[in-house]
Amino acid sequence: MNICFLMYPWDEIDPENDTSLALIHECVKRNHGVALCSPANLTIRNSVTNAFCTVINRMEKVSSSLKSFYKQADIREEMLPLAGFDVIFMRANPPLDPIMLNFLDSVKDDVFIVNSIQGLREANNKLYTAAFGDSHSNIIPATHVSKNKNYLLRQIKESKSDKMILKPLNGFGGSGVILIEKSAMNNIKSLLDFYVTNSDGTSNYVILQEYIEGADQGDVRILLLNGEPIGAMKRVPGSDDHRSNVSAGGSVAKHSLTKQEKALCKQIGPKLVKDGLYFVGIDVIGGKLVEVNVMSPGGVTYMNKVYKTKIQSKVIDFVESKVIDKLKAFQRRSRLRDEVENA
């Protein structure tokens, strides 16, 4: 099997904690062909979608250590057609590049893409969680999204809570997430000016979200594969930061899913699969869904360390099964076509 990881450059990988590297390592261990490219390296040659790839040469012996594997990997640069891969594994960081998806549209029928192009278009931003909330459901916190500063100020003033969460629509890794309080209303006006209005006169959407009690104790990152939870961890904020993201200084601890969290996964799982979102990370606080991460969900290496497991093995098992199913379907269709042709 040949897999292309569409992600950040090889030299930007964190060799100790990178989920993408854990997935790549698992593929190389199984003797699959592995290449990676960044969205900026997609190109079209003679009307065929290609990519300038970093190819990992086959290795006789693969170190069990991610750090050693990364150091020992022998790589080369080569232009390759994307339709020649069996799998394209999306691991690019947000925000989503729509031009990248336009390139992938040309190969989506030939290659199994994790996650699907349509699913990425629908779910790449923080608005996707709204699809899971309705008048009969209480699985997401009250959320407001707008560019209208007066409207956002009114929602803050009318909120029953003294605290709310403010964050940019296209942020990731906890970037730009701040806790605001009514007692600092003058500061809030300045913050909205900063978040909403750009120096060139354009404006950005921001998210204003109900503060969930207990958020100061951290959140839960749950990884779902094909709609089912395969790992979870508690993320605890650092002493000088309210954000629990590990990239923002948070720490991790073991976590057993609560009854409410299991019910949440069961409720949203079918829609994720229906939308072609097979490998997803969700962030949960107090049993409520805060974010759905579909582009490059992380946490695998941390969960592996805490639970002494190998989550990446389950992920690649699933990917292999999907490729085999796709190949069997193609072979069956070819056989039936031959029967019709020869009748």
Q: Quick one: average pLDDT of 179-194?
A: 86
**Statement: residue 169 has pLDDT above 90:** no
Enter the pTM of the model.
Answer: 0.86
Compare 87 and 165 and report the one with higher pLDDT. 87
Tell how strand 42-45 and strand 33-37 pair up: unpaired
- 153 in Cβ contact with 192 (< 8 Å): yes
Q: Are 274 and 292 in contact (CB under 8 A)?
A: no
Q: Tell me which range, 143-147, 184-188, 238-242, 245-249, is most confidently predicted by mean pLDDT.
A: 143-147
Kindly report, residue by residue over 64-93, the tens digit of the pLDDT. 999 999 999 999 999 999 999 999 999 998
Which two three-digit tokens encode residue 164? 């709310």
Which residue in 293, 295, 218 sits closest to 252, CA to CA? 218
Mean pLDDT of the chain: 91
| Among the listed residues 302, 249, 313, the one whose alpha carbon sits nearest the alpha carbon of residue 18 | 302
| pLDDT computed for residue 235 by the predictor | 92
At 82 the pLDDT is 98
H or E stretch covering 232: strand 228-236
Helices (H), 174-310: 185-196, 259-274, 300-307
Q: Is the pLDDT of residue 324 over 70?
A: yes
Asked whether the beta carbons of 285 and 214 are under 8 A apart, the reply is: yes
- State the pLDDT at residue 292: 92
Number of helices (H) and strands (E), helices first, in the chain? 9, 16
Residue 173, pLDDT above cutoff 80: no
For the chain, report the end-to-end CA distance as a whole number of angstroms.
34
| pLDDT at residue 103, rounded to an integer | 97
**Single-letter residue type at 22:** A
pLDDT tens digit string along 249-295?
578 999 999 999 999 999 999 999 999 999 999 999 999 998 899 99
Domains recognised in the chain with CATH numbers: 2-114 (3.40.50.20), 142-210 (3.30.1490.20), 216-309 (3.30.470.20)
* Residue in 131, 149, 152, 151 with CA at minimum distance from that of residue 140: 131
pLDDT computed for residue 124 by the predictor: 76
Among residues 30, 288, 248, the alpha carbon closest in space to that of 138 is found at 288
**C-beta neighbour count of 316 within 10 angstroms:** 23
